[in-house]
Amino acid sequence: MAHQTHAYHMVDPSPWPLTGAAAALLMTSGLAMWFHYNSMLLLTLGLLIMLLTMFQWWRDIVREGTFQGHHTPPVQKGLRYGMILFITSEVFFFIGFFWAFYHSSLAPTPELGGYWPPTGITPLNPFEVPLLNTAVLLASGVTVTWAHHGLMETNRSQTIQALTLTILLGLYFTALQTMEYYEAPFTIADSVYGSTFFVATGFHGLHVIIGSTFLIVCLLRQIKFHFTSTHHFGFEAAAWYWHFVDVVWLFLYVSIYWWGS
Amino acid sequence: MASRLLRVCGTLRALRRPPCPWPGGIPSNEKQATGLERKVMQDMEKGQDPYNILQPKRYPKEDPNLVPSISSKRIVGCICEEDNSCVIWFWLHKGEPQHCPSCGAHYKMVPHHLPH
């Protein structure tokens, strides 16, 4: 049997890219069906197939790396570059929404009364729940770093406790933000204020949920002894993503909640 | 469904189980690495690099590439990095070592005689 003479991973054929593309097609066409023909069938099917694809694709990566040993140092380096590039693309995604906010708020139009916040809008007090949310996310940044050090220092119980605490803080943030959304005196339909507020904070909230899910997967893998003290890139990627989510919140808080009030 | 339930029970049991054989509870790569990752790790410990992970020999002035030649000059084509399609061509003369203008690798001519 011929063996490779390089340290890279030539992946086996996989159906998940195809199912992922199928899910993307179903979700986009499903969105159109939902908008125009009052049917959520295609959309739901698309979402289901997307979730199945994500679960199975990433499960396969865990199998290839942890159980089959394909993640040599060069392969890990590539994964690091990949995660950094992905997070960078997400940064630019948020830059767009901050651009929209600053464009609208630095020169408020006559339709808004020439003011920001616009006439009639009562913004949320930045020193109430939003400040608590800031503290929660900052604390979660500390706990995830604590978990990382526990992992590097082969301290299983501390790693599991710190990671669990991080996840609980993340869930607490989501719960608080959900309550804020429900109780807010303005809606997404309330002029460009509502649009910029809910689209920017809404996408951030989605990223918090994604980040929390990633951390939960890491917790399950850590419990099942997948990570070693020197090789735990999945955890590092989750921690990077979580710090990114935290930084985005800080910008949101300062720009929209504080300056924007 | 049943297998998924069993797996959840296994995960919960892994939490309650007393600390595993490794001190602190988290294995080292030495204990848990497998497959190609393990092979690479073991070779590195022996000072070997069969999969060419590290940068190749750089050929400094003190340890140049030795180029045999039957005359006083010979053309050298340096492929600076693996798979480069742009080959750096230059004349190598007898005497002092010269270096590639692109990657800096040194070459020294070693005069030979044609057997006759």
How confident is the model over A46-83, as pLDDT tens digits?
999 999 999 999 999 999 999 999 999 999 999 999 99
Residue B11 has what DSSP assignment? H
Which tokens hold the place of A235? Answer: 């955890």
The average pLDDT across B63-81 equals 93
Q: Is the pLDDT of residue A19 over 60?
A: yes
Owner of token pair 């693996």: B82
Question: Going from the N-terminus, what domains does chain A have, and what CATH number goes with each?
Answer: 1-70 (1.10.287.70), 71-258 (1.20.120.80)
Residues of B at the A interface (Cβ-Cβ below 8 Å)? Answer: 11, 14-15, 19-20, 22-29, 31-40, 50-53
Chain segment A118-155, per-residue pLDDT in tens: 999 999 999 999 999 999 999 999 999 999 999 999 99
Query: Is residue B83 very low, low, confident or very high in pLDDT (cuts 50, 70, 90)?
Result: confident
Determine if residue A154 is left, alpha or beta; phi over 0 gives left, psi from -120 to 50 gives alpha, anything else beta: left
Q: Which two tokens stand for residue A236?
A: 């590092």
Q: Which member of B20, B37, B39 has the closest CB to residue A71?
A: B37
Of A235, A236, A198, A237, give the one whose Cα is nearest residue A218. A235
- CB atoms closer than 10 angstroms to residue A104: 19
Closest of A101, A28, A100, A137 to residue A257, by C-alpha: A101
**Per-residue model confidence (pLDDT) at position B18:** 54
Residue A20 has pLDDT above 70, yes or no: yes
Phi, psi of A173 (to 5 degrees): -55, -50
* DSSP secondary structure letter of residue B67: E
- Residue B17: the pLDDT is 59
Residue B69's beta-bridge partner residues? B111
Q: Which residues on chain A are in Cβ contact (under 8 Å) with B51? A: 5-7, 72
Taking each helix axis from N to C end, the angle separating A156-183 and A129-152, rounded to the nearest 10 degrees, works out to 160
- Chain B residues whose CB is inside 8 A of the A6 CB are 51-52
| Nearest CB to A68 within list B22, B35, B40 | B35
Q: Rounded to the nearest 5 degrees, what angle is found at the Cα of B54, between the Cα atoms of B48 and B58?
A: 105
- Alpha-carbon distances, residue A121 vs A256, A260, B91, B92, B94 (angstroms): 13, 11, 78, 79, 84
pLDDT at A35 over 60: yes
